[in-house]
Amino acid sequence: MSYVTINKLSKCFGEVTVFEDIEFTIEEGEFVTLLGPSGCGKSTLLRTLAGLDKANKGEIWVDGVDITHTQAQHREIGMVFQSYALFPNMTVEDNIAFGLKMKGISKKDAKEDLQKMLALVELGGKEKCHPHELSGGQRQRVALARALIVKPRILLLDEPLSALDAKIRKNLRQQILDIQKELNLTTIFVTHDQEEAMLMSDRIFLMNQGEIVQQGNPEDIYTKPVNEFVASFMGNYNLISAETAKHWFNINSNNKVAIRPESIYIKDAGRQYADHISSPKLAKIISHQLLGNVIRYNLKVENEELTVDLLNRSSERLMPKGSSIELLFNLNEIQPVGV
Amino acid sequence: MGNNKLFIHKSVVYSVITLLFTPILTTFIYSLSSSWGATILPDGFSLKWYSALLTDPRFIDAFGRSLFICISALLLATVLVLPMIFVVFYYYPKLDKIMNLLILLPFAVPPVVSSVGLLQLYAESKFQLIGTPWILIATYFTIALPFMYRAIANSFTTINLKDLIDAAHLLGASTTKAFLLVILPNLKKGLLASLFLSFSFLLGEFVFANILVGTRYETLQIYLYNMRQTSGHFTSALVMTYFAFIFFCTWLASRLTRGNTQ
Ligand SMILES: Nc1ncnc2c1ncn2[C@@H]1O[C@H](COP(=O)(O)OP(=O)(O)OP(=O)(O)O)[C@@H](O)[C@H]1O
Ligand SMILES: [Mg+2]
């Protein structure tokens, strides 16, 4: 049996159903990401797992024990909140040691654990500061240390990085991963940033409107979207209609067909392409965006609009608006999606 | 032009200050003068009125009674109001609107009206309440309520109550412990401010004290009222002592609340 098993879990607030009959399992030490747009129920699902919101239906099993009706304070689940929720009246040290204090461990006995934890999250020297004296990243690390020191069985992270700037985000992301691997912590991480999810996770649960629409490892989710939502949420898939797909590639499909922006090539004269890269089409450039190392072109082909990503090698090769070009498609990477 | 404007601003501010301070200052001078009759300047200065006041056992007793009543009322208010506001904000946040209306009620009725109402209501009760300090404590509690509720409710809105309690729960704290260890310390500032505010207000309360209790339990204000026939110098010294005490309390309040934010 898996370490965490969720069985037909449902949650509603009055008339509003946030999610219904959610089911999944998580293995010990796994890093799972709940990914989905704002308002799809990620936080509510985490809070229900933690026992902060009561499930209306269903079961939560952890390590072979049904904890559906266990109170939050006895679940041994740690959580880092979107808002940090540090105790403003306490120093960093007291914040981190709070969980130990609740277990009846005195500050003196906790000293060693505390030092270890401070070193782990690299907050040595900040013990006596109050939360309002810390930067966002430091606060988030205090919140992390506070949750970790009681050795939770599961760690829940609710968008811990969303309030931080790009650079700190990157560092902290790695730090969280390192700590998670070091402690072999079963972790559920919430984000609405697909890049973050792909980078960090062993598995991704993609949520939409209270449903887990697809789960799997990052590669599978990215390359084999099961439906339009997944395709549009994970990287800017091109979705073309079934008729166009039939006409262009002779693919029979009842639904739309997905083509990733990097599976389309702008044909260079005099260059040899592999056999599966074919189906040439004439296109016109509508606009382009520079995304750092990638240039994204928006093109018009017949009556479809496509986006194509090319590596940004040099500015001379930048093609101006209105140019006519020829496209080639990687036929192995074109696939119909579910609805 | 700018200077001119500044001059106008300054003169307005200083005139207001002078206007407000003149009575206090003259009262102060009057309380210090040995006698001040038909002459422009007092005959001489002495502290005899202060020494007479501070050695009057009746004054000391009245002061003690006032302190007892005010502090008891505020203790009662703290013990009842703090958990009540917590319950309102944590479990029934929608009640806050109704509470805001309810707590204004003690102000909506003029003190004279409500004290007469209380007299009638409790005149025939089995327990003798009228004329005892207990009814005054209970009445003062209702007067302190609006001050306390507003100030503490403001403190509640500045903290992220739900998340803080949730975080404490997940770390193994019960709701009571979470309230005592995590929430209460953050309310200290609002609580102290409202306590000092209500305290200075209650210490100067006269209408309820006079009608409900009167001379049977002489508080500071009743004592002042009863002393109105004696020398004006003496009552001036009394008023000044009262002022000094209030000033001291206000200073203490601002010090304590400021110290808390650092
Ligand atoms: N206490 C509540 N009462 C009523 N409805 C709620 C409550 N909490 C959440 N909801 C509703 O549940 C839905 C899911 O909310 P939730 O906070 O779980 O979204 P989320 O996926 O975490 O979004 P975000 O990425 O913006 O944090 C929303 O439509 C929200 O309005
Ligand atoms: Mg959320």
Q: Whose CA is nearest to atom 2 of ligand 1?
A: A13
Q: What backbone phi and psi angles, to 5 degrees, belong to A249?
A: -115, 0
Structure tokens at B4: 């001119």
Structure tokens at A34: 């709940």
pLDDT attached to residue B2 = 63
- Distance of alpha carbon A236 from alpha carbon A309, whole angstroms: 10
Query: Confidence class of residue B233 from pLDDT cuts 50, 70 and 90?
Result: confident
Q: Do B13 and B129 fall into the same domain?
A: no
Query: Confidence class of residue B259 from pLDDT cuts 50, 70 and 90?
Result: low
pLDDT attached to residue A332 = 86
Q: Do A42 and A132 fall into the same domain?
A: yes
Q: Enumerate residue ranges in chain A where pLDDT < 70.
A: 339
| Lateral strand order in the sheet of A154-158 | A77-80, A154-158, A186-191, A31-35, A203-208, A211-216
pLDDT attached to residue A109 = 84
Q: What backbone phi and psi angles, to 5 degrees, belong to B174?
A: -75, 170
Mean pLDDT throughout B207-220? 87
Query: Confidence class of residue B72 from pLDDT cuts 50, 70 and 90?
Result: very high
pLDDT attached to residue A280 = 86
Q: Do A310 and A202 fall into the same domain?
A: no
Structure tokens at A111: 């000293």
Q: How far is A31 from chain B (nearest CA, A)?
A: 20
Residue A142 touches partner B, C-beta closer than 8 Å: no
How many domains does chain A fold into? Answer: 2
Of A339, A98, A89, nearest to A227 by C-alpha is: A339
Of B169, B163, B171, nearest to A84 by C-alpha is: B163
Q: Do A154 and A50 fall into the same domain?
A: yes
- Distance of alpha carbon A255 from alpha carbon A241, whole angstroms: 7
Q: Do A226 and A248 fall into the same domain?
A: no
Mean pLDDT throughout B72-97? 92
Q: Do A123 and A85 fall into the same domain?
A: yes
Q: Do A200 and A320 fall into the same domain?
A: no
Q: Do B19 and B102 fall into the same domain?
A: no
Last residue of one domain, picked from the residues A207, A232, A257 = A232
**Is the CB of A40 inside a 6 Å radius of any atom of ligand 1?**
yes
pLDDT attached to residue B5 = 85
Report the separation in Å between the CA atom of A158 and the middle of ligand 1, taken as the mean of its atom positions.
Answer: 12
Shortest-distance ligand to the CA of residue A41: 1
Q: Do A72 and B166 touch (CB under 8 A)?
A: yes
Tell me which chain A residue has its CA closest to the CA of residue B167.
A85
Q: Do B222 and B166 fall into the same domain?
A: yes
User: What is the gyration radius of the CA atoms in chain A, in angstroms?
Assistant: 24
Q: Do B127 and B180 fall into the same domain?
A: yes
- CA distances to A161, A162, A197, A249 from A176, rounded to whole Å, are 10, 14, 13, 44
Q: Do B70 and B191 fall into the same domain?
A: yes
Last residue of one domain, picked from the residues A200, A232, A264 = A232
CATH label of the domain that carries residue A200: 3.40.50.300
pLDDT attached to residue B30 = 86
ipTM over 0.95: no
Within 8 A by CB and 6+ apart from A281, the residues are A248, A301, A302, A326, A327, A329
Q: Do B146 and B26 fall into the same domain?
A: no
Q: Do B26 and B61 fall into the same domain?
A: no
Q: How far is B250 from chain A (nearest CA, A)?
A: 24
Q: Do A221 and A263 fall into the same domain?
A: no
**Which atom of ligand 1 lies closest to the CA of A36?**
21
Residue B1 has pLDDT above 60, yes or no: no
The whole-angstrom distance between residue B77's C-alpha and the CA centroid of its chain comes to: 13
Within 8 A by CB and 6+ apart from A184, the residues are A28, A29
Q: Which amino acid is at A38?
A: S
Q: Do A12 and A39 fall into the same domain?
A: yes
CATH label of the domain that carries residue B164: 1.10.3720.10
What's B193-249 look like in SS3? Answer: HHHHHHHHHHHCCCHHHHHHHHHHHCCHHHHHHHHHHCCHHHHHHHHHHHHHHHHHH
Q: What backbone phi and psi angles, to 5 degrees, belong to B218?
A: -75, 110
Residue A89 touches partner B, C-beta closer than 8 Å: yes
Tell me which chain B residue has its CA closest to the CA of residue A147.
B171
Q: Do B103 and B123 fall into the same domain?
A: yes
**Is the CB of A273 inside a 6 Å radius of any atom of ligand 1?**
no
Residue B64 has pLDDT above 80, yes or no: yes
- Name the burial class of residue B36, with classes exposed (0-12), middle (13-18) and buried (19+) by CB atoms within 10 angstroms of its CB: middle
Q: Do B42 and B114 fall into the same domain?
A: no
Q: Do B172 and A52 touch (CB under 8 A)?
A: no
Q: Do A159 and A257 fall into the same domain?
A: no
Alpha helix ranges (H) inside chain B = 2-32, 48-55, 57-90, 95-102, 105-108, 111-123, 133-158, 161-170, 175-178, 184-203, 207-208, 220-226, 232-261
Structure tokens at A42: 């990620």
Q: Do A116 and A247 fall into the same domain?
A: no
Domain that holds residue A281: 237-336
Q: Whose CA is nearest to atom 6 of ligand 1?
A: A13
Q: Do B40 and B100 fall into the same domain?
A: no
Last residue of one domain, picked from the residues A232, A261, A278 = A232
Between these two residues, B129 and A104, which has the higher pLDDT value?
A104
Domain that holds residue B178: 55-261
Tell me which chain A residue has its CA closest to the CA of residue B177.
A102
pLDDT attached to residue A200 = 92
Residue A87 touches partner B, C-beta closer than 8 Å: yes
Q: Do A332 and A288 fall into the same domain?
A: yes
Q: Could you tell me what percent of chain B has a pLDDT over 70? A: 97
- CA distances to B50, B63, B64, B65 from B58, rounded to whole Å, are 14, 9, 10, 10
Average predicted confidence (pLDDT) for chain B: 87
Q: Whose CA is nearest to atom 25 of ligand 1?
A: A38
Quick one: DSSP state of residue A322? T
Query: Confidence class of residue B262 from pLDDT cuts 50, 70 and 90?
Result: very low
Q: Do B173 and B66 fall into the same domain?
A: yes
CATH label of the domain that carries residue A253: 2.40.50.100
CB atoms within 10 A of CB B258: 10
In this predicted model, what pLDDT tens digit does every residue of B175-193 receive, in sequence order?
999 999 999 999 988 888 8
CB atoms within 10 A of CB A42: 27
How many domains does chain B fold into? Answer: 2
Q: Do A188 and A329 fall into the same domain?
A: no
Mean pLDDT throughout B97-109? 87
pTM score of the predicted model = 0.80
Q: Which amino acid is at A8?
A: K
Q: Whose CA is nearest to atom 4 of ligand 1?
A: A13
